[in-house]
Amino acid sequence: MALKYLSPLHRATRQIGLWFEERLPEMIGTEGHMLTYLLPYGPCPVSDLVRVFGLKHSTMTSILDRLEKRGLIERTSNPSDRRSLLIGITRKGRTEATRVNALVEEIERAIDQRVSKRDLDAFRRVMKAVEEATEIEVRRSGS
């Protein structure tokens, strides 16, 4: 049985990941995505990050530990819930997030040069069909 949709989606995801790894070898894909998310939405509770990124708490903790160790994020007490932490981005983290955003724009432009508006409309219809078939709408973010 040929995988008409999932195999190409998986391959494209992997190719994009490799493209970013080549340009930012010091950063794992999720780390870069998290930094770009924190630019407009931080500081935010860890629970928000878990929901948005769809990761387990233990995985999220590992990612946050790595980012904090490199001085890219900071954890502070949540004034509205002392049992939880807020995750904010540092000045160094903002610089890195800006680098990631520039690469996102670069790959988007490169793809844009290779497809027509009609192609893009068809792609969006396929993505909408995936959303409908899974019956899951993922919250849209700024990144």
Q: Which architecture, in CATH terms, is 26-134?
A: Orthogonal Bundle (1.10)
Q: What are the pLDDT digits (tens) for 40-87?
A: 999 999 999 999 999 999 999 999 999 999 999 999 998 888 888 999
- What integer pLDDT is reported at residue 83 of this predicted model? 84
CB half-sphere exposure, 12, CA atoms < 13 A: 9
Distances (CA, A) of 71 to 76, 88, 92, 109: 14, 11, 7, 30
Residues 27, 36: Cα–Cα separation, whole Å: 12
Tell whether the model's pLDDT for residue 141 goes beyond 60: no
Residue 140 pLDDT class (50, 70, 90 cuts): low
* Edge-to-edge strand ranges of the sheet holding 44-45: 44-45, 81-89, 73-78
pTM exceeds cut of 0.85: no
Phi, psi of 22 (to 5 degrees): -65, -35
Q: What are the pLDDT digits (tens) for 96-136?
A: 999 999 999 999 999 999 999 999 999 999 999 998 998 87
